[in-house]
Chains A and B, each alone.
Chain A
Amino acid sequence: MRLHFHLRLFAAAAALLGASPALAKLNVVTTTQDPAAITRAIGGDRVNVKALAKGFQDPHFLDAKPTFMVDLNRADLFEVIGLDLEIGYAPSLIAGAHNEKIALGAPGYLDLSQSIAPLEVVPLADRGQGDIHPNGNPHYWLDPENGRLMARAIAARLSQLDPDGKATYAANLATFEKDLTAREAQWSAKMAALSGQPIITYHRSWTYFLQRYKLQAVDFVEPKPGIPPVPAHTLDLIKMVPAKHIKLILMEVFYDKRVPELVAAKSGAKLVTVPNSVGGTDAVKTYFDLFDTIVGAMASAAGS
């Protein structure tokens, strides 16, 4: 009798834990917040999405925390930015996740850089040039047109992994693209006044954004990618601002502001500090919010 009860209890638990259609969501893990935001827009209720990095965190320097491996152990899909942005932690996370579904080359591994045309490819890279990415600059999500390409790649992979949801993913992709097109017109209109202007940025995070809106990065607060500011280079920047009529210095929320603030104060340029990822500030909850915030801050600084 007692055994019978235990069997029934086991059966009930199995039914609860089993693959009931209502519970069978795809588990998606992304390294950064931006593909996570796009995946939520495309996947809707059919996906559970978790991003490993916070939006206000430098995505180059995440730790391969074992607790992330627990998330990846249950993942159906692991989306990475690629172009070596996650070289310091993604390989360790995959190795420690004990999940063949997300191994390199498996359907559950999606390198989103494969869907875009990378800029700043450096075939003859050398570490003497700083922390550069030989296969291209990885900050491509900051061009909204690349966001469109990422969304298409995500929709295609979700459809492959969950064929029953193909129509949903296609419909959500169509909505995303329609909204993106409408927003792009607004962002372009606001950025038109800045077109052609020289600008200083902290890191080479803004290459794609600047190309989209036709701004020219003439120098960087970092003397070389990944190398913190040094006095001689900072002095050069202070002298460069009036000489080249630079009005704006653009930087991410997670870098030390002391040197850029000094350059701005001594040179008369305006410092614009903005998130470069979804979640970079509390107000930036979607991919569209990200551009609303960046474009709004830049247009405001240029107009004031």
Chain B
Amino acid sequence: MRIPLLCLALAAAFPFSAFAQADAGVPAADGGAPSAEDEALLKEIEAASAPAAKPGGSSATPEPPKADGAAAPAPKGAGGPFSNIYNPAISLNGLFLGSFTSQDAPAEDQAHTGVAIQEVELQLLANVDPFLSANVILSVPGGQGVEVEEGYLSLTAQPLGIAFRGGKIKLPFGRENAQHTHALPFVDRSLVGQAVFGQEGLSEVGVEGSYLLPLPWYLLLTASVTNGDNEVAFHSPDDRDLAGFAALKSVVDLTDDATLELGASYALGRDEDRLTSQVAGGHLVVKWKPAAASTTHSAVLTLEGLYSRVPRSGATPGDETDTYGAYASAQWQLERQWYIGARVEFVRPAAVVPDMSRRESAILVFAPTEFSAVRLQGSATQPGGGAPPFYEAFLQVNFTLGAHPAHSY
């Protein structure tokens, strides 16, 4: 059932329309006899397409040798047999992190006191050919082991205005999920983001289509079919169990200097016990950046909430299967190179005895240029289950080398 659907999707997506446009001047083949004019044209095309009678035929006349018999010089700019000209845009992001925690024995997924490589990320981006472009992002979390964080192909053509990409994709589920670690507004991900999708977020192998609706404002519809492999939200043992994702994102100008973004996302798949699991989310972002002071002043207010229901066998029907939470954050640019921010959040994870965790964070950022930043963050966490509060502090150095593409708005 899925193979015919896949073929249909590929047929719709592959850019044969580009060739159809190139033939716009030729009458469409409607089953009728070709005219004499068409036949003559076809003969010309066949003759031009036939293999040359001998190397260097009329259609591929070589450069005439010089009178002295020397070969024609190589074209200007050619780099010989080995050249960097077609190398992709390459960039590297490095994150070094110094951490302090007041906990004597933090859990494995919590901050530990010390200095470490938080992550190194290598991105390669280029057109493959006239039909495809590729974006591959390799990450080295903690400085150990290489992972494919993202790696996808995008179709150059957009049949019916639909953009397609396929591969491993950080799905645009809400606001935070698609952001890479170096682009997060804080040193760490939100509690609810980690509780619903895990440390790496919702990054799945699949095919995605997105369509910008023809409306006076920005309304983007995104849908994808993925392998449903996320270890927290899905992770069915049967590879045939796929997951679906859909999102709507709308952005409007409140003024020339301010925008409002609203988004809703939903994903459906099967969990480790092949039971249906669902995740829903919503977000709101208000951005302000005055055109007259666009390099020195800006503000961002973000609200995001996630709700997941992952039944798993053995769980009794009820709230124990549900994880939910939200965060609110604000960032303010004080000067060209200085930012401050604050975040409050809570999460109520699914557990046998679920209890709410809360955290408050504040951050100070010095960014000499858009290619480097030093970030100092402090957090106070009140864990659930009656555990005592603990405190964390982070000093992060963040740098970018090379041709890194712009981050999404």
Q: Which residues of A contact B156 (CB under 8 A)?
A: 103
Q: Is the beta-carbon distance between A73 and B289 smaller than 8 angstroms?
A: no
Q: Is the beta-carbon distance between A100 and B295 smaller than 8 angstroms?
A: no
Knowing A92-B405, A98-B211, the reply to whether A54 touches B216 (Cβ < 8 A) is: no
A-B contact count (CB 8 A): 85
* Docked complex Cα distance between A103 and B155 (Å): 12
* Docked complex Cα distance between A227 and B337 (Å): 10
Q: Is the beta-carbon distance between A61 and B212 smaller than 8 angstroms?
A: no
Closest B residue to A86 by beta carbon equals: B406
Known: A58-B295, A66-B220. 12 other contacts (CB 8 A): A56-B291, A57-B291, A64-B409, A69-B218, A73-B212, A89-B406, A92-B409, A97-B212, A98-B158, A98-B210, A127-B371, A254-B292
Q: Which residues of A contact B252 (CB under 8 A)?
A: 67
Interface residue B296 (Cβ < 8 Å from any Cβ of A): yes
Closest A residue to B218 by beta carbon equals: A66
Closest B residue to A226 by beta carbon equals: B369
- Of the candidates B216, B368, B369, which one forms a contact with A70 in the assembled complex, judged by CB atoms under 8 Å apart? B216
Nearest Cβ in chain B — how far from A73, in angstroms?
Answer: 6
* Docked complex Cα distance between A65 and B256 (Å): 11
Q: Mark B340-377, 1 if CB is under 8 A from A, else 0.
A: 00000000000000000000000000001111000000
Q: Is the beta-carbon distance between B212 and A62 smaller than 8 angstroms?
A: no
* Docked complex Cα distance between A64 and B287 (Å): 12
Q: Is the beta-carbon distance between A92 and B408 smaller than 8 angstroms?
A: yes
Q: Mark A92-105, 1 if CB is under 8 A from B, else 0.
A: 10011111100100
Q: Mark A78-114, 1 if CB is under 8 A from B, else 0.
A: 0000000001110110011111100100000000000
Which 8 interchain pairs have the tightest Cβ spacing?
A: A66-B251, A66-B218, A98-B212, A54-B291, A57-B291, A92-B406, A88-B406, A98-B161
A interface list, Cβ under 8 A from B = 53-54, 56-58, 61-67, 69-70, 73, 87-89, 91-92, 95-100, 103, 127, 131, 226-228, 254, 256
Closest A residue to B163 by beta carbon equals: A98
Q: Is the beta-carbon distance between A67 and B217 smaller than 8 angstroms?
A: yes
Knowing A97-B212, A256-B296, the reply to whether A65 touches B259 (Cβ < 8 A) is: yes
Q: Is the beta-carbon distance between B409 and A65 smaller than 8 angstroms?
A: yes
* Docked complex Cα distance between A87 and B371 (Å): 14
Question: B residues 195-230 with Cβ under 8 Å of A?
Answer: 210-212, 214-218, 220
Q: Which residues of B contact A227 (CB under 8 A)?
A: 368-369
Q: Which residues of B contact A63 (CB under 8 A)?
A: 287, 289, 409
Interface residue B336 (Cβ < 8 Å from any Cβ of A): yes
Nearest Cβ in chain B — how far from A53, in angstroms?
Answer: 8
Interface residue B238 (Cβ < 8 Å from any Cβ of A): no
Q: Which residues of B contact A256 (CB under 8 A)?
A: 296, 336
